């Protein structure tokens, strides 16, 4: 069955970087795009952008340009989210979600990133 | 892109029906039939409930239904059950070739 498994929780200091992974299984990785969604503590869902798993071309949502980078390693069916120059307000759960069209079919379990000195 | 507008909370008793609204603009909800609803149980990842306004994925009970009129989409849950207590989010494709979520609605089953 389709499954997205994300890397574990991370604790970083302000100014540091973090890389979150999302390993896909149960389908052909390059068939569906991968989205990233942020959820700050006690807050709603926020779409961050998506990456075309066929071409590797990323598209960033409003507010997620500059410090956020989406990447892939298709050899291991894995998508990555890297955030640099971390700020306290980046503290959130980050989800990957595969998309077969105009919907997010399947979600990873989420990765909690805590930014604190 | 501003978030879609949902009520912060709704409540209902077991067996009743409730409706959650999701208001956007002609650039998102009103412009496309690509409205999706997700259910998020406490501490869990969101789960797809409704796609393309009113379609249910296999495995989702027909107690959940979706509709749209103009710039407002709606999710109706009939025959409320205790297990329906969760946060519900709408989502729409937009004219900017992006996606936007609603602020979320907390459903309490009394």
User: In this predicted model, what pLDDT tens digit does every residue of A93-114 receive, in sequence order?
Assistant: 999 999 988 999 999 999 999 9
Residue B29: HSE in the Cβ half-sphere, 13 Å Cα cutoff:
26
Q: Is B95 on the interface with A (CB under 8 A)?
A: no
Distance from CA of A106 to the nearest CA of B (A): 7
Which residues in chain B are closer than 8 Å to A59, comparing Cβ atoms?
Answer: 97-98
A103 and B34 within 8 Å at the Cβ level: the answer is yes
Using an 8 Å Cβ cutoff, are A18 and A12 in contact? yes
Q: pLDDT > 90: what percent of chain A?
A: 97
Q: Which two tokens stand for residue B22?
A: 């999701």
Q: pLDDT > 90: what percent of chain B?
A: 98
Residue B7: HSE in the Cβ half-sphere, 13 Å Cα cutoff:
13
Q: Is A60 on the interface with B (CB under 8 A)?
A: no
Q: Give the chain B residue whose CA is nearest to the CA of A104.
A: B48
75-114 in chain A: CB under 8 A from chain B = 95, 97, 102-110
Q: Give the chain B residue whose CA is nearest to the CA of A49.
A: B98
State the average pLDDT over residues A11-35: 97
Using an 8 Å Cβ cutoff, are A25 and A2 in contact? yes
Q: What mean pLDDT, rounded, does chain A reach?
A: 97
A47 and B45 within 8 Å at the Cβ level: the answer is no
Cα–Cα distance between A106 and A50 in angstroms, integer?
Answer: 14
B38 and A95 within 8 Å at the Cβ level: the answer is no
The answer to whether residue B2 scores a pLDDT higher than 90 is no
Which residues in chain A are closer than 8 Å to B46, comparing Cβ atoms?
Answer: 37, 45, 95, 97, 104, 107
Q: Is A58 on the interface with B (CB under 8 A)?
A: no
State the average pLDDT over residues B77-105: 97
Torsion of CA A116, B2, B8, B14, to 10 degrees: -110
């Amino acid at each position: 069955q389709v499954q997205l498994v994300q890397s574990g929780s991370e604790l970083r200091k302000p100014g540091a970087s973090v890389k979150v992974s999302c390993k896909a299984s149960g389908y052909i990785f390059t068939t569906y795009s991968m989205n990233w969604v942020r959820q700050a503590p006690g807050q709603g869902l926020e779409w961050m952008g998506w990456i075309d798993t066929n071409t590797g071309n990323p598209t960033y949502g409003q507010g997620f340009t500059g410090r956020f980078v989406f990447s892939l390693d298709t050899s291991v069916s894995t998508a990555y989210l890297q955030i640099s120059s971390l700020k306290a307000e980046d503290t959130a759960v980050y989800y990957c979600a595969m998309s077969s069209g105009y919907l997010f079919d399947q979600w990873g379990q989420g990765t909690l990133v805590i930014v604190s000195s | 892109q501003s978030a879609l507008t949902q009520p912060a909370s709704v409540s209902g008793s077991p067996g009743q029906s409730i409706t959650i609204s999701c208001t956007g603009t002609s650039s998102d909800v009103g412009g496309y039939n690509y409205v999706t609803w997700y259910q998020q149980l406490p501490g869990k990842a969101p789960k797809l409930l409704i796609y393309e306004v009113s379609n249910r994925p296999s495995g989702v009970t027909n107690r959940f239904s979706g509709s749209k009129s103009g710039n407002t989409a709606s999710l109706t849950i009939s025959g409320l059950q205790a297990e329906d207590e969760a946060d519900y989010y709408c989502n729409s494709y937009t004219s900017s070739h992006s996606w936007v979520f609603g602020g979320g609605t907390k459903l309490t089953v009394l």
